[in-house]
Amino acid sequence: MSSEARAESPNSPETAGPTDELISKKTTRRRFIQGAGVAAATAASAGPATAQSTRDKAWTEGRSGLDFSSDFVPNAYNEEDGLTRAKHRMKWGATLEALEFYEDDSGNKARLPGYVPTKSSTPEHDTDNVVTVRADKFDFPDGYNFPRGETYDGDGDGESDEDVYALDATHWSTTDASTGTVSVTDADLDVSKALNVASSSLADGETVSATFTDVSVSDDVEKSYFQGVINVNSVGSNALVKIALRDDDGDEKILTVDPSGDASTAKVITTGAGNGIVFQQRIGDLATDGSGDGTFDSIEEVEIRISASGGASDADVTLTAFNAEKPAKWVFGSYLKNEGTDSEERVKRERPGPGTFTMTSLDTMSDELKDDSAVIYDVEQPMRYTMQESDHPFEFRFLEASDYPGYDYRLQIRGKQSVPTGYDLTHTALSWFDQVTAPASRYVEVWTATGTEDVDFADIDDTSKTAHAGNYDSRGAEVTLKSSASAGNVNTFFADILLTSSNKSDAESSGGGGGGAPPSAKGGNGILSVIAAIFGGLGITGLLARLSG
């Protein structure tokens, strides 16, 4: 253990500072002695009765009055690297703070008692790329509102008053082969609209197709992007899937799922199975195929063809987003590449997938994905649940430290905390921690007790307490209170910490329950606390109050 990490005493070199020069500027030697005398007299007048009364001092309920950003106020926390929230409604916001919201079992918006730790806010974390998502889990209007302005009579009342969506199976027709068939169905996924197209019994040389004709787009089509999100559920080695945009005389722009293709080329979406594969190509940049006049100038049909060549083969694909009218790409957030190195750079996610990917924040996504009506399903993130944010009982009190020469007060805290449970929350590898933010020698007592939801603080039996003070031996260290914690269990944390007068001022808050700073981001105690630690060893810490007015 380094000298910096060892337990500190009020007279240790670590707490010492340039006090002689400071004192010479603020007071004469005579005033210094007078101040010391006042402090000693005050201490002597306290007597046994005062010490007894402080030991019996009542507890203050609630967190108001404590500054949890202080090094002298413990803020124990449960933490997990992989909390999955079943959904994130973008109307909750796109900031890191918005990731604290979830939908409870009553369908109401609720907040997790903590925050999302990042490398920037919590140095012991190794990344700022904390949000993990998958593209086929994005449900956003720009992903399913194609084509725009087309309506139909959906209920048979003679009025065409329902919007047409290319991702609705009802608008597609199919063409089978001699042996092979094709089906078009509405896929049952988290997103509101998803179209499944699958072939069956496709023989060598056969092609089946599904066609959508309820579309007519003619304005600047070559400037628009041929974009979407596809799940390739399966694709045989001899199968080829073509997604084609066709104009009024047969010209086509084609993207493919091709096991024999080159994924680095513009026309190939992917060469194999996978979920959440994003494709985005400007229509004008794609080669023109088909049987027309060679000029692609409108979109009148969309066709999905599955063919087999070199042997029988089938394919099964699902579109979870589709658009061909937008002159801009979707941006699925951005991440830090080569994080923590000299070559670190921020990179946009324009063609993520297959599978999950990370971003630093939902805020980095393009506006279409942040629409208030958009929903992202299965959002994974780290989460730290703190004592400061817990909604369970919490109490504290300041006692005189009459039995501890060199110190003026003892801060005692006792609080309960738990990790919420719910249908929309999936927890992974929870652990319970605290950080040694004060000098090691300040921790008089630290204990925890589990399963204390219905037990008053005063009624917690000594046999159920687990002592931890011996582990608070290195300032800055993380102490494991419970390596395998369980969501829903209510546990109690108690700490008794020695303070100087300056430390007490640092720990107190005139309003609210502190600034909400991550424990590892807690600041120092200032020059007065350094002086207080030195003078504390002489029993004259009261002098500081006189020096500081």
Q: List, for residues 42-56, the tens digit of each pLDDT value.
A: 333 344 444 444 456
Report the CATH architecture of 142-323: Sandwich (2.60)
Per-residue pLDDT band for 57 (boundaries 50, 70, 90) equals confident
**Count of helices and strands (H, E) across the chain:** 6, 33
Q: Tell me how far apart the alpha carbons of residues 525 and 118 are, in angstroms, rounded to a whole number.
A: 24
How far is the first Cα of the chain from the last one, in angstroms, to the nearest whole number?
Answer: 39
Per-residue pLDDT band for 158 (boundaries 50, 70, 90) equals confident
Q: Which of 162, 213, 203, 210 is nearest to 186 (CA)?
A: 210
| CB 482, CB 491: distance < 8 Å | yes
Q: Strand, helix or coil at 92?
A: helix
Q: Tell me how far apart the alpha carbons of residues 336 and 332 are, in angstroms, rounded to a whole number.
A: 14
Overall average pLDDT of the 386-415 stretch? 97
Residue 11 class from Cβ within 10 Å (0-12 exposed, 13-18 middle, 19+ buried)?
Answer: middle
Give the residue, 85 or 29, on which the prediction is more confident: 85
The type of residue at 531 is: I
Strands, E, within 59-113: which ranges?
60-61, 77-89, 101-103, 109-111
Alpha carbons within 13 A on the beta-carbon side of 318: 21
Q: Tell me how far apart the alpha carbons of residues 246 and 193 are, in angstroms, rounded to a whole number.
A: 23
- Phi and psi angles of residue 109, each rounded to the nearest 5 degrees, phi first: -70, 130
Which two tokens mark 420?
Answer: 């919420």
| CB 283, CB 245: distance < 8 Å | yes
| CB 140, CB 369: distance < 8 Å | yes
The type of residue at 120 is: S
Give the residue, 18 or 144, on which the prediction is more confident: 144
| CB 524, CB 476: distance < 8 Å | no
DSSP 128-152: S--EEE-GGGEE-HHHH--STT-EE
For CA atoms 440, 444, 450, 454, give the dihedral sign.
Answer: negative
pLDDT greater than 90 at residue 491: yes
What average pLDDT is seen over the chain? 86
Which two tokens mark 192?
Answer: 């509101």
The domain ranges of the chain are: 60-76+387-507, 88-135+332-382, 142-323
- What is the model's pLDDT at position 159? 87
Q: Tell me how far apart the alpha carbons of residues 398 and 389 are, in angstroms, rounded to a whole number.
A: 21
pLDDT greater than 50 at residue 109: yes
Alpha-carbon torsion, ordered 424, 427, 428, 429, to 10 deg: 180
Per-residue pLDDT band for 287 (boundaries 50, 70, 90) equals very high
| CB 230, CB 257: distance < 8 Å | yes
- What is the model's pLDDT at position 328? 97
Residue 235 class from Cβ within 10 Å (0-12 exposed, 13-18 middle, 19+ buried)?
Answer: buried
Overall average pLDDT of the 116-144 stretch? 94
Segment among 2-11, 247-256, 302-311, 368-377 with least mean pLDDT:
2-11
Q: List, for residues 512-527, the tens digit of each pLDDT value.
A: 443 344 544 554 433 3
Q: List, for residues 325-339, the tens digit of each pLDDT value.
A: 999 999 999 999 999
Q: Give the neighbor-by-neighbor strand order of the sheet with 181-186.
A: 181-186, 195-200, 315-326, 225-235, 274-282
Overall average pLDDT of the 11-25 stretch? 34
Which two tokens mark 254?
Answer: 């084609």
**Residue 318 contacts by C-beta under 8 Å, 6 or more apart in sequence?**
136, 187, 189, 194, 195, 196, 197, 230, 231, 233
- The structure's pTM equals 0.83
The type of residue at 91 is: K
**Residue 186 contacts by C-beta under 8 Å, 6 or more apart in sequence?**
168, 169, 193, 194, 195, 196
Strands 443-449 and 491-499, sheet pairing: antiparallel
DSSP 164-219: --TTSGGGEEEE--SS-EEEEEE--SSSS--EEEEEESPPTT-EEEEEE----B-S
Q: Tell me how far apart the alpha carbons of residues 98 and 116 are, in angstroms, rounded to a whole number.
A: 10
Overall average pLDDT of the 86-91 stretch? 98
- What is the model's pLDDT at position 522? 54
Task: Determine which helix (DSSP H) or strand (DSSP E) holds 544, and give its type and residue range.
Answer: helix 542-547
